[in-house]
Amino acid sequence: MNARRADLWCLVLLFLLMIATTVASIRYGAMDFSGREMAAAVWGKLTRQPDMPLDQRIFIELRVPRAILCLLVGASLGVGGTLMQGLFRNPIVEPGLVGTSSGAAFGAAIFYVFPALLQFNLGGLTLPVVACAGGVLSTYLVFALAHTKREGRSSILRLLLTGLAINALFLSGIGFLSYVARDPSARSIIYWNLGTLSGADWNSVVIVGVATVGGLIPALAFAKSLNALMIGEDEAVALGVNVGRLKWTVLTINVLMVAVATAFTGVISFVGLIVPHILRIVRGPDNRFLILGSALLGGILLSVADLIARVCLRPAELPIGIVTAVVGVPVFLSLLRSREYLS
């Protein structure tokens, strides 16, 4: 079919674009690397040269993992957004809706303000673990509160509203913590709430990578069922979809991807909301395309945003959440105006 081929071309295009932005993203930053320097650094790493120059080590140990982490986190947020919008049959939903990212942010705020409360220390992994635990806890709370014995039509709506309420609760908790915090921790909370990839290393790449790939594959397997859900819960059941199982699986995938990503980078808003929209405006709502497409476009968008965040005030950095909104909103608004998308 023609539409299929167009989808495929679109994915190829996105893939090439992703390569291009990644190359730009590792080349430019607080310090620029030429093609030759980059090649030398990679060669040095591959041949395990013992005494690499400092700038080459910076490139291999900081710049490259940061670029890859951008792709992974962007993919997680993009796919999470597609899954949540599909599941809730609602275009204004974003992946943090079921409480995941506000819970993770709350966990991080506790880490910054009352580190003594935490009875364990995992070194560099402490913050990610606490944040991830917060994300999982708040999501669990949303489900436990939204769950009733009678499975009815309203269960998705109840989940949505419970998510809004729990989000508000955790956000006020974060507000309280930043209010009572002293200056350096208060700044850390603010910084973390706007998202940053400055903590990227190979360790985080591996962990986020496992979560991203581990979420993406089952998400693709459920794409057709999510399509059926577009025309309604009853209709999906009539078409042979086990809607109960679909809901739980998709939500679990989303929590896994978003909680882990948020744990390493802080709260990056807007990517999960607009990426599925941009793709839907361009190519329509088929989730089989959207899931792959939003993995690629999410990565692209976050890479571009991170590049801008690193370059525009260099050698200082902007929180990435500011850039994602500044870059994403105009693109999003102009697409909304140009097509009959919402008719």
Partner 1 sequence: MLTATELTFRAGHRALIDGVSASFEPGRLHLILGPNGAGKSTLIRLLARLLRSAEGAVLYDGHDAEHWHERELARRRAVLSQAVEVAFSMPVRELVLMGRYPHFGARPGADDLKICDEVMRFFDVSAMADRSYGTLSGGECQRVQFARVLAQIWRPIEGATRHLFLDEPLTFLDIRHQIDFMGKVRSFASQKDVCVVGVVHDLNLAVQFADRLLLLDHGRVLADGSPAEVLTEENLRTAFAVTPVMLTNPATSKSHLVFESSSELR
Footprint of partner 1 on this chain (CB under 8 A)?
3, 89-91, 224, 227-232, 234-235, 237-242, 280, 284-286, 288, 340, 343
Instruction: Please say which residue, 187 or 245, places its beta carbon nearer to partner 1.
Output: 245
**Beta-carbon contacts of residue 101 (< 8 Å; ≥ 6 apart):** 95, 135, 258, 259, 262, 267, 269
Q: How many CB atoms lie within 10 A of CB 26?
A: 22
Per-residue 3-state assignment (H helix, E strand, C coil) for 16-37: HHHHHHHHHHHHCCCCCCCHHH
Separation CA 201–CA 197 (nearest Å): 9
Q: Which residues of 81-91 are buried (b: 16+ CB within 10 A; e: fewer)?
A: bbbbbbbbbee
Smallest distance, partner 1 to C-beta of residue 146, A: 19
Structure tokens at 174: 């974060």
Task: Give the Cβ contact number of residue 333 at 10 Å.
Answer: 11
Amino acid in position 292 = L
Q: Is the dihedral of CA 216, 200, 323, 15 positive or negative?
A: negative
Shortest distance in whole angstroms from residue 220 CB to partner 1: 10
| Contact by Cβ (8 Å): 105, 167 | no
- Give least dist CB 277 to partner 1, A: 10
Nearer to partner 1, 43 or 341 (CB): 341
Closest separation in Å from C-beta 97 to partner 1? 15
Nearer to partner 1 among residue 21 and residue 227 (C-beta): 227
For residue 176, the minimal CB distance to partner 1 (Å) is: 37
Closest to partner 1 by CB, 178 or 227: 227
Q: Which is nearer to partner 1, 45 or 89 (CB)?
A: 89
CB of residue 34 to partner 1, shortest distance in Å: 45
Minimal distance in Å, beta carbon 228 to partner 1? 6
| Residue 211 and residue 261 in contact, taking contact as beta carbons nearer than 8 Å | yes
Q: Please say which residue, 32 or 234, places its beta carbon nearer to partner 1.
A: 234
CB nearer to partner 1: pick between 206 and 231? 231
Closest by alpha carbon to 200, among 289, 111, 71?
71
Give the CA distances from residue 91 to residues 41, 70, 166, 228, 269, in Å, rounded to whole numbers and listed in that order: 44, 24, 20, 16, 15
Shortest spacing between CB 236 and partner 1, in angstroms = 9
Decide whether 229 or 297 has the Cβ nearer to partner 1.
229
Alpha-carbon span 93 to 157, nearest angstrom: 12
Distance CA 175, CA 124 (A): 25
